[in-house]
Amino acid sequence: FLGYLKANNKSMKYDKELAQAVWKYKKNTGITVDDLITPRLVSSLNVPMADRIKSIIFNMERCRWISSDFNQAEEFIFINIPSYELRYFKNGKTILESKVVVGKAMNKTVVFNADMKYIVFNPYWNVPKSILKKEILPAIQKDPNYLVKNDMEWHEGIVRQKPGPKNALGQVKFLFPNSNAIYLHDTPSKSLFDREKRAFSHGCIRIEKPKELLHLLMKEDKNWSPEKIETTLTERKEKWYTLQKKIPVFIGYF
C-alpha cells in the first residue's frame, strides 16, 4: 500500500526484492538502515494508519511553531530531535547530513531557533553546577586524583576540563546564544552515533561530523583556509571566532 514493494509475488522466501523494500522503508522511517527484519521494524509496520494520520496532524501543528524566518533563509541548519539528525541547507539544497546525540529524558533538548554567531576551537568545558554536584564532586571524594586523570582543574570557583583528546566538547563547539544554554559540539564518544536511539546528552547537541560542518561554515571566509582550520584544531588552545555571516539554527520535533 505504501509503494515500497511493487507487487506481492507471494513467495515465502525473503528475497532481494523484499529486502530492498525493507531497506527503503527503514530509511524513510528513521530506523537503522539495513535489510534485517527486527522487532522494531515489525512494530513499525503494525502501527495503524489512523495513528500515522494523527502523527501527521501533530507535525503540521508543530510546523506552525517554527519561525517564519525558516522559509526566507537562504541557508540554515535544521536539527530534528526524534530522528537524531542535523541537516545544513543552502539555496534549497542539503549540503550536509549528520547524525546527532540529543538530550536524554531528564535533560531534553528543547524546541527553539537562534542565530549561530561564534565558533570556539579547542574549547574548555565549564562543568555545569548540576553535573559538578551530582557527578564530579562524588567522584573526587572517591578518587582525589579524579581531576588530574580527566584533564580537569578548578578555575574561578568552577571545575573546567582543559582542551585535548579527553575534553567532553571535543575539538570545536558552535554557539548560537540562547536562554536554554544549548549549543552544538564535537565529542570524543564517537561510538554513540552507532546507536539507533541517541538521547544521551545533558541537553546540548553532539555532532557526528563537526569538522565537515566547520569547513562548510568557514568556506567563504577569506580569513580561513582548510589548512589553517586544521592547524588551529591541533593547537590545544581555546580560540573564539565570530562568524562573518550569522547562520539560523532551527531545532524542531517532527
Catalytic residue among 63, 155, 204, 215: 204
24: closest CA among 8, 39, 45? 45
Residues 6 or more apart whose CB falls under 8 angstroms from that of 108 comprise 102, 203
Catalytic residue among 63, 155, 185, 202: 185
Find the DSSP H helices in 135-225: 137-142, 146-149, 210-218
Per the annotation, the verdict on 202 as an active-site residue is no
For residue 183, give Cα distances in angstroms to 58, 64, 119, 187.
26, 23, 10, 13
Alpha-carbon distance 207 to 190, whole Å? 9
The DSSP code sequence of 172-193 is EEEE---TT---EE--S-GGGG
Alpha-carbon distance 111 to 148, whole Å? 37
Alpha-carbon distance 92 to 11, whole Å? 42
Residues 6 or more apart whose CB falls under 8 angstroms from that of 102 comprise 79, 81, 84, 108, 109, 198, 199, 201, 205
User: Which set of grid coordinates corresponds to residue 172?
Assistant: 570545536
User: Which set of grid coordinates corresponds to residue 245?
Assistant: 555571516
Per the annotation, the verdict on 63 as an active-site residue is no
24: closest CA among 41, 39, 12? 41
Could you list the active site residues? 185, 204
